[in-house]
Structure 1
Amino acid sequence: MKRLIAFDARAIEGNYSGVRDIAVGLLEGLRIYCSEVRNIQVVAVGSSQESAVADEVLASRGFMEFGLPRLAQSMRASAIFVPRQTAPMLRTVPTYAVFHDVGFLDIPGSYTRDRRMRATTRWAGASARALTVSEFTRERLAARGITRSARALPIGAIHDYRRTASTSTDGRRYLLYVAAFQPHKNVERLVSAWEQAETEGYDLVVCGRGGARESAVHAAVRSSRKAESIHLVSGLSSEDYGALFSNAHAYIQPSFYEGLGIPALDAAAMGTPIAVAGAAHLGRVFADGPPGMIFDPSRVTDIARAIEQLLHDPSSRGLFSDHAKATVRLTDWVQVAREALHDFGK
């Protein structure tokens, strides 16, 4: 008789995000892994009748609190798998929860809805089998007293992009940054650094969605003397998003905090020259990089220096590209699933 895992697939039904990317990979990896071991079956549970992945659909109201655990109990599931840092209030079967970051605790005020995130994160840490997207997040969970028994998953780059010509459709070369407009993403300081740096002949493209600093970011761009070379884009299709990565001349990540940092890892794996803030997970991943690959995100002059190296210094660009590609690999989701279920049934 097969043992069942009820997988919360709601993140896959939502808009594009890092959480969604990881949920997609986890579900794919779990299904392949479980088909190989033959005695486990994954049942994806969503809340949308239009879901392309859900095997079962529940009402969105009370989904996590009661709906999912009651369904798991009725189908005699052996576990619930939640690809984000929350867990059901009703404990009917063991729950696996995936923790992405605790930046809302480490840098208070830099995240929206941090009060709710605090509550769900602490509850999941106390009631679930904790998995993390990085070793950095695992350590921060322990340091914050949330859980000391979390297991870090071997997650690297998510998307298999390939580099092409480093220009946009109109022939302009550009520096890329992907970020929501939240305080910890540091977009306004990047705009200031762009204004300070030598950027003749290049554009800055910031691809992201709204957030607490959206109005401030737009105001910073409008007031910049280089406003014509700064482009804020959003709502791209997956094809256009992939093309944006493939054609980028370089990638920069000036954020103060990343539990994983998917866009930077994607750019690194494809060999795009990148420079990142020396903070959180990405600061660790690229700690041994060439001089200039890591910078202080609090200093506009340091960000400006990184911009100039990425745009104009062929030697630095080559070193950054080689180190990035040698450091980051595309995620093997079957291996991730194997690690995630290391204690399944125990």
Structure 2
Amino acid sequence: MFNFLKTHGELPVRLFQLRPSLFHSPGPIAPVFKTAPTVLTIHDLSFLKFSDIFTGLQNSYYRAFVPRIARYADRIISVSRNTCQDVIDLLKISEDKIRIVYNGVDIKYFSRSSIKREDLSKKEESLEKYILFLGVLEPRKNICRLIRAYASLPAYLRNNYKLIIAGSEGWLYKDIYSLVRELSLSERVVFTGEVPDNELPALYRGASLFVYPSLMEGFGIPPLEAMACGIPVIASNTSCFPEVLADGALLINPLDEEELSHSMVRVLTDKELSSELVSKGIKRASLFSWEDSARRTLEVYRELLY
């Protein structure tokens, strides 16, 4: 599990053989023993803040290895100022060796002319109007509260809008399916499973509203992708979201199901609010590009190589 043998067995041997000038791990896991100047990307430290949303093995693994690896890394890339502050506070890492490099939004999400409604799969076409969530099914994504908030919508909205939950199964996800059955929502809540990357723009654009009530993220790419597609977004007011989404989304307390449900009603029934979120969302999403992310990452490499 976690590719333990590859990360701490095979990879160090390969690095020793190759003798690279620099090693960059795009996640918080790297060999325990440093064999080259090392750059470590840390997306978030949710395992230190929400230990109950991971399995025991996951918690043990991350808590044992991430702090040690972070200490020996020559540079740490954090994907937001929020994550940067967490690294300083929770891992006791000096700010001097942390660099903030934001993630980007793929340009395909802005290219409206290349995506047509008929590009959706037959299953997606049959859904007509829907509220969308996209993400791995695991406790941190706060999907159970989203389902309960959806169940609290007025009947006419539930009848007009299905709730589409798109994404692969992660861990500790069985309660999500159980809740749907318990609330008798099996006909209104649809699980698509993992969606192929080339179908995502169409899936976003088919939605009337995108909702992302995650408890914590390091950056939060799906809300930005939805914003780029011209879809109004409701997201959490915690962790990175105020920093990344700013006024491009309606931010809510992810622990307050009543507020979430009320906000969904507002966006679905207030055309002026919905149009304002769409306009501001597109503008905000346009500030993040993978080209800029690559340029800033190269700058981090140059600090260590020259």
Is the CA contact (8 Å cut-off) linking 1:267 and 1:274 kept in structure 2? Answer: yes
Q: Does 1:154 align with 2:102?
A: yes
Alignment partner, residue 323 of structure 1 = 280
The residue number in structure 2 matching 1:182 is 138
In 2, Cα distance between equivalents of 1:61 and 1:220: 34
Asked whether the equivalents of residues 276 and 283 of structure 1 are also in contact (C-alpha less than 8 Å), the reply is no
RMSD of aligned residue pairs (Cα, Å): 2.4
CA drift of 1:301 comes to 0.8
Matched, 1:341 2:274: no
In the alignment, does 2:258 pair up with 1:301? yes
Deviations 1:188-209 (A, max 9, x none): 1111110111323111101122
Corresponding residue for residue 209 of structure 1: 168
For each residue in 1:4-57, what CA deviation from the matched residue of structure 2 results, as whole angstroms up to 9, or x when unmatched?
xxxxxxx9xxxxxxxxxxxxxxxxxxxxxxxxxxxxxxxxxxxxxxxxxxxxxx
SS state at 1:271 partner: coil
Deviates most, 220-229 or 317-326: 220-229
Q: Find the counterpart in structure 2 of residue 279 from structure 1.
A: 238
The structure 1 residue matched to 2:195, chosen from 225, 231, 236, is 236
Q: Is the 8 A contact 1:181 1:211 kept in 2?
A: yes
Deviation by residue 1:68-110 (Cα, 9 ceiling, x = unmatched): 3333333332111111102212222111111111011122212
Asked if the contact 1:251–1:274 (Cα under 8 Å) also holds between the matched residues in 2, the reply is yes
Which residue is equivalent to 1:114? 59
Which fold has the larger relative contact order, with Cα–Cα distance below 8 Å and residues 6 or more apart in sequence?
2
Query: Is the 1:86–1:123 contact (alpha carbons within 8 Å) kept by the matching residues of 2?
Result: no
Q: Which residues in structure 2 correspond to 1:62-73 (within 5 Å)?
A: 62-73=5-16
Q: CA separation in 2, counterparts of 1:188 and 1:335? A: 39
Between the aligned partners of 2:125 and 2:300, the Cα distance in structure 1 is 42
Q: 1:326 to 1:65 in 2, by over 3 A?
A: same
For normalisation by structure 2, the TM-score amounts to 0.85
Higher helix content, 1 or 2: 2
SS in 2 for 1:280: coil
Output the TM-score relative to the length of structure 1. 0.75
Distance 1:84 1:243, change over 3 A: same
Q: Match for 1:121: what amino acid? A: V
**Distance of 1:158 and 1:302 partners within structure 2:** 31
Residues 72 and 79, structure 1, Cα contact 8 Å, conserved in 2? no
CA distance, structure 2, for counterparts of residue 203 and residue 85 of structure 1: 37
- Deviation string for 1:128-148 (max 9, x for gaps)? 121112221111100113422
Question: Per the alignment, in what secondary structure is the counterpart of residue 142 of structure 1?
Answer: helix
Q: 1:187 corresponds to which letter in structure 2?
A: I
Q: 1:335 to 1:304 in 2, by over 3 A?
A: same
Say which is worse superposed, 132-141 or 60-69, in terms of deviation: 60-69
Q: 1:225 Cα shift?
A: 4.0
How far has the Cα of 1:165 moved from its partner? 5.0
Structure 1 gap segments, 5+ residues each: 1-10, 12-59
Q: Deviations over 1:106-160 (max 9, x none)?
A: 2221223122112221122111121112221111100113422211113232463
Q: Which amino acid aligns with 1:68?
A: L
Report percent identity of matched pairs.
22
Equivalent residue for 2:149? 193
CA drift of 1:216 comes to 0.8
Quote the Cα distance in structure 2 between the aligned partners of 1:171 and 1:186. Answer: 23
Aligned residues: 286
Confirm or deny that 1:249 pairs with 2:213: no
Does the 8 Å contact 1:175/1:248 carry over to 2? yes
Q: Deviations over 1:201-223 (max 9, x none)?
A: 11110112223442211011112
